[in-house]
Amino acid sequence: MPVPPVPDVFSDRYSRQILFPGVGADGQEKLGRARVAVVGVGATGAAAASLLARSGVGHLTLIDRDFVEPSNLQRQVLFDEADALASLPKAEAARRKITAFNRDVTVEAVIADLVPGNIRELLGPAHLVLDCTDNFETRYLLNDYAVEQGKPWIYAAAVGAYAATMTILPVGDLRTACLACLFPAAPTGTVETCDTAGILATAVNLAASVQVTEAMKLLTGQMRLVRRSLLSFDLWTNERSEIATGKPNPGCEVCAGRNFRHLAGTARPHITLCGRNSVQIHEHRRPIDLAALEVQLSLQQEISELRSNAMLLRFRRGGHTLTVFPDGRALIQGTTDTAVARSLYARFIGA
């Protein structure tokens, strides 16, 4: 006697979304075939990745250079206390959580810093890129790449109670201004970050919600519904503003002049401040045997809190914590002095 098929209890997973006229069955199929890259899987990126996966986007590439810490748990929705205790890389922790709640989505975790040398490989397959980073250095790199390739991307930012998003369409009849049209240069002087101004989880989720809704419009082929402005909102003071982005700046160095300095690498330092009283060193592109390094470090009395997994090695030396990744990149916490960071790197990891 033939065994009856097991009913798929998740067959109506997207039924409520399909009922929404803006998506429908056709739109749901398009979402299932879409490939989206999320650059930065911190607060905004974790929220955006979760929303994309729950909406049925078929393939997600999650790119992040960092690891989960206890201070992340207040706002980074895909992580838990076990992830923080294990110092799990954020991209991998997010992949595991998404896989647990939606088996239909293919998730690729990339534990790396997005740089000119890998951006084409990592973002090439994506139909759309979501910027969920925390620095203009990477945003300008994304903008250069997107304009050069004619690939849409969506900027998002959140700090304090403030959230902002902007959709960039580099080509076509509905072409918008690019990031460099509005911001020819990065902000100077004191710039607020979540380490200095704090952050509300609600601001993060607002930015991600608007960003992913714009993404759904693009992925379902409804380009004319895309918002053509830089939208910002302060949830605490209720202040709201919009800057029109419907027309590119004819004098823009990037989209008009086709000058891609950030993509060429000429505008990118190899040692950068990355918040949290930290310095990132990514000038050494060489594989590191983490297991062998752990053995070497274990013999040194000044090293404490030494631990590792397949994706990173972390240890403490005095007032500094060093996190080393297999590609040679490292985060040095406890200083903003690049000379100190370079010295610690050379001493314990090698020049």
pLDDT tens sequence across 183-230? 998 776 545 667 667 899 999 999 999 999 999 999 999 999 999 999
Give the model's pLDDT for residue 160. Answer: 92
What was the pLDDT predicted at 300? Answer: 85
Q: Report pLDDT digits (tens) over 276-307.
A: 688 888 766 678 888 888 988 888 888 999 99
Question: Mean pLDDT: which of 14-28, 60-74, 188-202, 282-296 is highest?
Answer: 14-28
Give the span between the Cα atoms of 278 and 340, in whole angstroms: 11
Q: Can you tell me the mean pLDDT for 81-106?
A: 95
**Is the pLDDT assigned to residue 6 strictly greater than 60?**
no
Q: Look at residue 192 in the predicted model and tell me its pLDDT.
A: 67
Domain boundaries, the chain: 15-264, 271-348
- Give me the residues paired with residue 53 across strands: none
Q: What is the pLDDT of residue 339?
A: 76
Q: What global pTM score does this model have?
A: 0.82
Amino acid making up residue 246: G
Say what the pLDDT of residue 1 is.
53
- 128 pairs with which residues across the strands? 36
The fold for domain 271-348 equals TATA-Binding Protein (3.30.310)
Query: Which of the given ranges, 238-242, 269-273, 278-282, 288-292, has the highest pLDDT on average?
Result: 238-242
Q: Which one of 132, 178, 181, 194 is the catalytic residue?
A: 194
d(CA 276, CA 125): 32
181 is catalytic: no
Quick one: CATH architecture of 15-264?
3-Layer(aba) Sandwich (3.40)
Task: Give the three-state DSSP class for 313.
Answer: strand
Confidence (pLDDT) at 7: 46
pLDDT surpassing 70 at residue 47: yes
**Edge-to-edge strand ranges of the sheet holding 278-281:** 271-273, 278-281, 330-333, 320-324, 313-317, 303-308
